[in-house]
Chain A
Amino acid sequence: MKYFLKRVIGTIPVLLGVVLLIFVMLRIIPGNPVVILLGEHYDQATIDRLTDLMGYDQPILLQFVNYVKGALVGDLGVSYKYSRPVTEMIMEALPYTIRLALMAVVFAWGLGLITGIIAAVKKNNFIDRMFMGVSLLGVSMPIFMTSLLLQYIFAFKLGWLPMTEEGTFASMILPAIALGWNSAGSVARMTRSSLIEVMQADYIDTARAKGLRKGAVIIGHALKNSLLPVVTMMALQLSSMLSGAVITESVFAIPGIGRLATTAINNRDMPVLQGTVLFTTVIVIAGNLLADFLYSVLDPRIRKGD
């Protein structure tokens, strides 16, 4: 328990550091949000008035302190472009991102684990080669290509599934597969190699020698021990998916966190960008903590070693 408390406290400087970094970086890059807001229709008087109103010309340290103060009570500021509270915008986008991430993860882990286990059991025969070949395709195919291909074939040409997000389960299938495809490949390959390694250990022979069936040995002994590295990867995958899938969300018109962030970058909408980065940081840190936690559950030596 003490170990986790220490880990959680350790994340505070990381969070502050990230906020400070994004704060400074956003102000170094050129692009006055007021000018972007006005587009082709701008004049000096309006630019000056709005710049003043946004507090964009205040000392950066003051802006930073005010921001951290607000963030502590859940107030992430107001969007320059949309004049709406950033917390509200993130909360609106979050359900879409969670839904997409969970479906993608179920798809990726389900497919990845199954093919990984089968490939390990059928090591070096045809099925193994085929599965690993396909998973290599999964790992190496860029996500925008997967997205466009899936959309073109299954939604546009065949018409089996909706083209864009409509709130229905069916409309989330293609985006989930597109987003989970890479992860499925990684999980499959990692599961296979890890399981093969464990299967060569002496205690597996012992388990077999005492009369256990091969299936029971795999499920009861080998799988649990081989999952350690796979679980770490899964936790990180989950947190990266929850931080928003920029391309998938764009192609399938899903109003999630990733789209919020990209729109904010283009508009130099600092409050929204800071909000989404802070949110993503929290998610990634939580993912790491979860991975550590699962590690210690699966392998108590880590806990004791502390």
Chain B
Amino acid sequence: MNPKRVAIFLVAGLFFYLALYTWNLRTGLLTRLSIYSGLDSVGAVLRPGSWAGHAAGGFVERYLSLVGLKQENEALREEIKALRLESMTLRERAEATARVEKLLGFPEPPDWRREGARVIAHRIGPTAILETILVDRGKLSGAKEDTPVLCTEGVVGRIYRAGLTVATVLLLTDPSSRVAVVGRDNRAAGVIYGMGAGEKLMVKYVGLQSSIEPQEILVTSGMDGVYPKGLPVARVTSVRREEGTLFMDVQAEPLVDIAHLEEVLLLKRAARPEDSRPLWD
């Protein structure tokens, strides 16, 4: 082949690629097309196998759990008693708080609906450089980008890409993940940054004057506009105060065992806006 023709072909190809890449960055059309075709077909292929795996695993687990069932029952009964007592106290406190908020004219918090979803895969394909999981809920069931995802232990992440029937969840541990948090006991505010799989989370922008202790639970502050306030996110593992800096060096660990996640909850905001009152009201 003529080298000149090869060079022209390569340059034309590169030009076409760059034009396509830039055009798609602006319009997002090809990304949407690949999500609705590729992501959903991946979901359709993986879902039956994942369901079969869960069913088989559940069967084996149920069989194995028959061993030591009596002792477990007794321990659970004790736990239920303790939780009932705690729930009673907390209910009283919650009702009192609601009354005070009403008296002070606080706007009502937005309604969030929970919907269960099954994890059908973790990272997928050659371009899987993000820490993600794939769940079996998509736009058809109301899941959309930035929908918070949690499990019973705490925050898992948020939806990064939503297809029609499946969605990709960006995990808390991904380096591009940010969550605005506050200490549950001392109320020190900060932002949690993911540092990659298996790594501790970094809590940035915690002021030197703030109080924060190891083992303190960090909950969402609601300041990022993605997560509702008060969801548990991580536990502080180390706090260092260094001279010459404005902020403390705080590390934390996620409350959720991400590697073994099987089911998650999607938190969907109700149609009503968070605070529909005008600012001057």
Chains A and B belong together in one complex: no
Chain A contacts to B: CB under 8 angstroms: none
Chain B contacts to A: CB under 8 angstroms: none
